[in-house]
Structure 1
Amino acid sequence: MLIELAQKEFFAEKKFEGLTDNSLDCYVVFFKTWNEWLVENNIEQLEDLTPRVTKRFLTYCQEERDNKPTSINSKLKMLRTFSKWCVQEKLIPESFTENIKSMKQDTQPKMVKDSDIQMALRHLRRVKRRENTFEARRNYTILVYLIGTGMRLGEVERLAWDDIDFENYLIIIRTSKSRKSQSIPLSESLAKELLEWKHFCEHKFSKFPESVFVTRTGKGISSNSIQLVFQRLKKNLGIEGDFSPHCMRNVYIKNLLKNGANMRQVQLLARHSKIEVTRQYVGYFAHELKDAIDEFNPLRDLL
């Protein structure tokens, strides 16, 4: 059976099963990359796929495409799912991902310096105040929103004004990572920023957009576009360390812990399925406690 034909059947079944649009899009992008490599290597039939072929493809992704372990493992995960489906459908006798192990990857959360956050906010405030442009207002609000909610990039992309309950200070997440509708609290300070942005959009657009964060045409902004906003900020401000939308989630968790929230509260606010995931952050912030030990030195009056 042709590999591309099997992919189409697999995709249709996953769509029928209710796989999220984001996950389906990931398969579309992945299959495109994989198929291009398969064509270059004259591999067309399912029976031509073996663990050795899979390893060659992953090696190509690592060496030629400069994919990091996280990206390699994501590709391997999709290959495993597709391979398992092919076996279940009796299209092939055995899996072509058998005994292929995931690459070891650094699970340490990427930290952003407080000074870099403050510099970015100052810059965006200054541009917003001087130029009052659409992009300046939107980008500032996006940065504040990510830091103030710890939401994932896909959740921000899908956020609609109807999901924000200003009266009860709640944000509804209708398609979360766990595929359940959830809600997170909205702080008064963030609510104020969002209302200012909403007021600006009401005057900017003849037809008020459904999405909270949009392009100049009123269309919902994509995850890739938000990534580009952060990349440009990093480049323009000369930020050398980590600085990305997902890093802002780590900033959110770090600040909750630093400001006194207990582990259970942080787990609920960050929507971690297991408290062990929350607990791992504590060690990564230990170096920042140096200032605290100097300020509240228990030996101060004893030595």
Structure 2
Amino acid sequence: MLNDKEFQAFQEGIFKDYFKKYIMFKRGKGEKVTHSTLIRLKSLNQELTLSCDSLEISHEVAEFILREREKESPSSRGLRVSDFRQFSAFLRSLGIVSYEIPRKYMKKVYVPFRPYIFSEAELGSITVAADQLSQGRRSNTHCQVYPVITRILIGTGMRIGEVLSLRIKDVDMADQLIIVYKSKNNVSRYVPMSESLSATVGKYLSKIQHRHESQRHLFISPYTGTGYSYDAMKYMFRKIYSAAGVRTPQGRLPRIHDVRHSFCTASLNRMLESGMNLYTAIPILAAYVGHVNLSDTERYIHLTEHGYSDFIKKESNLSSLIPEVCDEN
């Protein structure tokens, strides 16, 4: 569902109801719709309102809206193209005529990015900080919810959107499983829980008021009566990271998604250390975290200087694939 502020952002235009449905569709799949995404979608709605006389998006309208703008960076334009492409595909799935943006509409923009990889000590500090959150003026529910969400993220590597979308029925305490239904790329999967995580989730379930209403969200915001928003998570995790004293080398607070990167990296390291071959380990990890393509998993594997030599030693047959650097003349 959209909260009041989000709802007010789409009150005009012939496409307004479809933008609301589109946002709920994305959230229903476990995808996060951030504040910046909402701003871009609001802008797109306004441009379509000015450019379209009917519920149809022509090639000419698409080209006009996606034209290059003065002083706009390639990455910003790339986001606009991506938003338009996905919304257009959503409209077509509903039988509405909308121009299909080609995959190679614009040159892919390479944005160098390296996430922050937490150490085990830092993850421990984050967990302690979540456990010690101070009580709020209006509600203390967050003191009960965030320690559990934090442990699920650290212990499973799930996407934050997947965690927020969980229903009570999605937790199988008998088999110690979390069931993720139709998340990103429409992938469903079982996520095993460790003994300690299962105990934490079981204890939480025993305390919540509506534990027998299987269709209700597992984590319910006391302010909205529905699931927590990504913006709420972003706000609270900044507080948790700050209290834990965890910052990147540049002095910034890490992102929530960095926990998933850290999980994937640590999990691969453990599998390799156990003697598992890389070509066996990556498909297993991909299935666990819900990736469709192995290339998606490879983006999460971040070799630190500490682990690089061990990796090459264990996978020496890969050394021929690493290009040599030409000597200077």
Q: Same fold (TM over 0.5)?
A: yes
Letter in 2 for 1:80: R
Structure 1 distance, partners of 2:193, 2:219, is: 17
Structure 2 distance, partners of 1:266, 1:257, is: 7
Which structure has more RCO (C-alpha within 8 Å, separation ≥ 6)?
Answer: 2
Letter in 1 for 2:83: M
In angstroms, what is the RMSD of aligned CA positions?
Answer: 4.4
Structure 2 distance, partners of 1:134, 1:9, is: 33
SS at structure 2 position matched to 1:259? helix
The answer for the alignment partner of 1:54 in structure 2 is 66
Structure 1 distance, partners of 2:112, 2:268, is: 22
- TM-score (ref. length: structure 2): 0.64
Structure 1 distance, partners of 2:261, 2:67, is: 33
Are residues 125 and 56 of structure 1, via their aligned partners in 2, closer, same or farther at CA, if it must alter by over 3 Å? same
Residue 256 (structure 1) aligned with residue 267 (structure 2): yes
Structure 1 distance, partners of 2:165, 2:258, is: 19
The answer for the alignment partner of 2:289 in structure 1 is 270
How far off its partner does 1:107 sit? 5.3
Deviations 1:182-229 (A, max 9, x none): 212122111011112222324xx7987822222236532222211221
The answer for the alignment partner of 2:258 in structure 1 is 247
Indicate if the aligned counterparts of 1:54 and 1:97 stay in contact, CA closer than 8 A: no
The answer for the alignment partner of 1:121 in structure 2 is 127
Letter in 2 for 1:263: I
The answer for the alignment partner of 2:321 in structure 1 is none
Deviations 1:94-142 (A, max 9, x none): 979995334222354443344432222222334589xxx5322321111
Structure 2 distance, partners of 1:214, 1:91, is: 37
Higher helix share: 1
Structure 1 distance, partners of 2:152, 2:70, is: 36
The answer for the alignment partner of 2:193 in structure 1 is 186
Structure 2 distance, partners of 1:9, 1:211, is: 24
Letter in 2 for 1:181: S
Structure 2 distance, partners of 1:277, 1:185, is: 21
Letter in 2 for 1:187: S
Structure 2 distance, partners of 1:158, 1:123, is: 24
Residue 168 (structure 1) aligned with residue 178 (structure 2): no
Indicate if the aligned counterparts of 1:111 and 1:247 stay in contact, CA closer than 8 A: yes
- TM-score (ref. length: structure 1): 0.68
Indicate if the aligned counterparts of 2:122 and 2:246 stay in contact, CA closer than 8 A: yes
Gaps of 5+ in 1: 63-67, 294-303
Letter in 2 for 1:137: Q
From 287, 300, 303, the equivalent of 2:305 is 287
Indicate if the aligned counterparts of 1:213 and 1:220 stay in contact, CA closer than 8 A: yes
Are residues 278 and 181 of structure 1, via their aligned partners in 2, closer, same or farther at CA, if it must alter by over 3 Å? closer
Gaps of 5+ in 2: 1-11, 273-280, 312-329
Compare 43-52 and 184-193 and name the one that shifted more: 43-52
From 82, 94, 97, the equivalent of 1:77 is 82
